[in-house]
Structure 1
Amino acid sequence: METKKAHFTAPELLNPTNPINVCLIGAGGTGSQVLTGLARMSHSLQQLGHAGFQVSLWDDDIITDANRGRQLFAECEVGLPKATALITRTNRFFGTSWKAIEKPFNSDTATGRNAIYISCVDTAAARFGIAEVLDDLDLSAHRSDTPRYWMDFGNSRDTGQVVLSTIGNIKQPASEKFTPVSSLPFVTEEFGELLRQSDNDDTPSCSLAEALEKQDLFVNSVLAQMGCSLLWQLFRKGYTGQRGAFVNLRDFRTLPVIL
């Protein structure tokens, strides 16, 4: 009988000495929700004896009144940089020392290395730019900051997807129960043509009502919960048999992306 496929988590992430470096790209509808999920996850992992996360949030956008409601911003934060507002609030609430970077993430600005990259961007061009940066990363050193995973979120008005990829091959243990999978393709490789065809309109909205015509109220939070649950599974179980999900809130359907 054919065994199920599974991807086993990079071992250095399961019991690290120092917090795991996480790069979160995008602080909008999905990114603001993912940041909260990462903070909850980091705190919970620390209570279980894990070192938790050290997150850097990249976004060069400013909060407008149209962002309130669908994104996690308050009236008093209108006019502030999105990344700084979210990171300041998160650090105060959870006692973290995470970093806000008020720049777009691209080959000219990206510095340092992170074990996990999470993208919550609006366009195919931005995704291909991130893929270009990740392709050029040095994967030679086996340390806790060795680049290992890229999780990408994307959505239209009431549908969306989250897809997990590996950065290079990750050595897998022998298993009698599963067929280990060492490499998960980039979303730009697997769904590149689909991304180009369904590229979102990133024109700024003048009001919340206009923004809700582009993206429904809860599509971002649902996707954020799905992706954070997958990441949590990687750390708590040490493996996963799924690498993402497609979500359709219009019909209340979810389809897992099986290995």
Structure 2
Amino acid sequence: MNTTKPKVHFVDNGLLNPTNPITVNLIGAGGTGSKVLTALVEMNHSLLALGHAGLQVRLWDDDSISEANLGRQRFASSELGLHKSVALINRTNRWSGTRWRAEATKYGLESFAADSTNFSATLTVSCVDSVKARFEIAEILRKIGRISNYNNRPKYWLDFGNGQNTGQVLLSTVGEIAQPKSEQFIPVANLPFVTNEFAALLRRSEIIDDTPSCSVADALQKQDLYINSALAQMGMSLLWSLFRQGMTSHRGFFLNLRDFRAQPIDFG
């Protein structure tokens, strides 16, 4: 009989019983990020209904809305030329009554060096399409983790990444999260960064042609119509389970939408 105890990660108590809304940096407002923002609106409303303090989101993206973004991303023709982050946050705040913020700036080392204000958040959610951007996010989180005050120290990083029909979502901790003693489980305090554990996979799944798309048809050659939506829903379901269950036995998943297969990532 197998008596090995399962490995789980117990969520930091600051996320479960916060005094103030959980600060969230959502990086990227494109195909995945625009849909993750919608899911965060739903999550915030549901958390508030359950007596939780909710979320305070800051959306980062320095890109502007083009014709190629319409349809596949959460934008309308009336928003052409606007900054993606500003358009989405303005719409979100009008619809849901939130006071979330937009940064029409790239979340990267250059911007961080110029002004590190607003870069720190308890939860970082990245929806970027380059390996370089992920490594910069990792470096920023390490730097902030060493200097931030306790209340706004980064604790978790949820990364979304995809190719045309495949993708992955991975949850990481920024350093170690104190774990309770357990007779039933083996608590796991540290979840490695995606840039440490899956660097080779990231490079294989990266969109090689990163030139701007000139049309929706061109964009669909790089990322199929529903890969972003599928990743967003499944990834945010993982985040929701952290709030509702207070623990997780999975760090994320791999998704192949062409074959309709999903493979969870556990703790080994």
Alignment check: 8 A CA contact 1:68 1:74 kept: yes
The offset of 1:142, in angstroms, is 7.2
**What letter is aligned with 2:135?**
F
TM-score, scaled relative to structure 2: 0.94
Match of 1:187 among 173, 194, 207: 194
Secondary structure at the residue paired with 1:243? strand
User: CA offsets per residue over residues 123-179 of structure 1, 9 Å max, x none?
Assistant: 001101111111111357774422100011000000000000000000001112211
Structure 1 residue 99 corresponds to structure 2 residue 107: no
Structure 1 residue 239 corresponds to structure 2 residue 241: no
How many residue pairs match? The answer is 259
**What letter is aligned with 1:122?**
D
Structure 1 residue 164 corresponds to structure 2 residue 166: no
Q: Point out 4+ residue stretches in structure 1 off by more than 4 angstroms.
A: 139-142
Q: Distance in 2 between matches of 1:144 and 1:6?
A: 25
The offset of 1:75, in angstroms, is 1.1
* 1:53 corresponds to: 55
User: CA offsets per residue over residues 228-247 of structure 1, 9 Å max, x none?
Assistant: 10110000100000010100
Secondary structure at the residue paired with 1:133? helix
The offset of 1:198, in angstroms, is 3.5
* 1:21 corresponds to: 23
* 1:228 corresponds to: 236
* 2:14 corresponds to: 12
Alignment check: 8 A CA contact 2:129 2:161 kept: yes
**What letter is aligned with 1:175?**
S
The offset of 1:65, in angstroms, is 1.1
Alignment check: 8 A CA contact 1:16 1:144 kept: no
The offset of 1:109, in angstroms, is 2.1
Q: Distance in 1 between matches of 2:42 and 2:152?
A: 21
Q: Distance in 2 between matches of 1:150 and 1:114?
A: 10
Alignment check: 8 A CA contact 1:151 1:164 kept: yes
Task: Name structure 2 gaps, 5 residues minimum.
Answer: none
**What letter is aligned with 1:235?**
F
Secondary structure at the residue paired with 2:152? coil
**What does residue range 194-233 of structure 1 map to in structure 2 within 5 Å?**
194-200=201-207, 201-233=209-241
Task: Name structure 1 gaps, 5 residues minimum.
Answer: none
Q: Distance in 2 between matches of 1:176 and 1:209?
A: 55
Structure 1 residue 138 corresponds to structure 2 residue 145: yes
**What letter is aligned with 1:255?**
Q
Secondary structure at the residue paired with 1:251? coil
The offset of 1:39, in angstroms, is 1.0
Q: CA RMSD in A?
A: 1.3
**What letter is aligned with 1:204?**
P
Alignment check: 8 A CA contact 2:162 2:206 kept: no
Q: Distance in 1 between matches of 2:217 and 2:200?
A: 31
User: CA offsets per residue over residues 78-129 of structure 1, 9 Å max, x none?
Assistant: 1111000000011111100000000000123243420000110010011011
User: CA offsets per residue over residues 201-232 of structure 1, 9 Å max, x none?
Assistant: 22111110111111000000100011110110
The offset of 1:254, in angstroms, is 0.3
**What letter is aligned with 1:148?**
K
Q: Distance in 1 between matches of 2:87 and 2:72?
A: 16
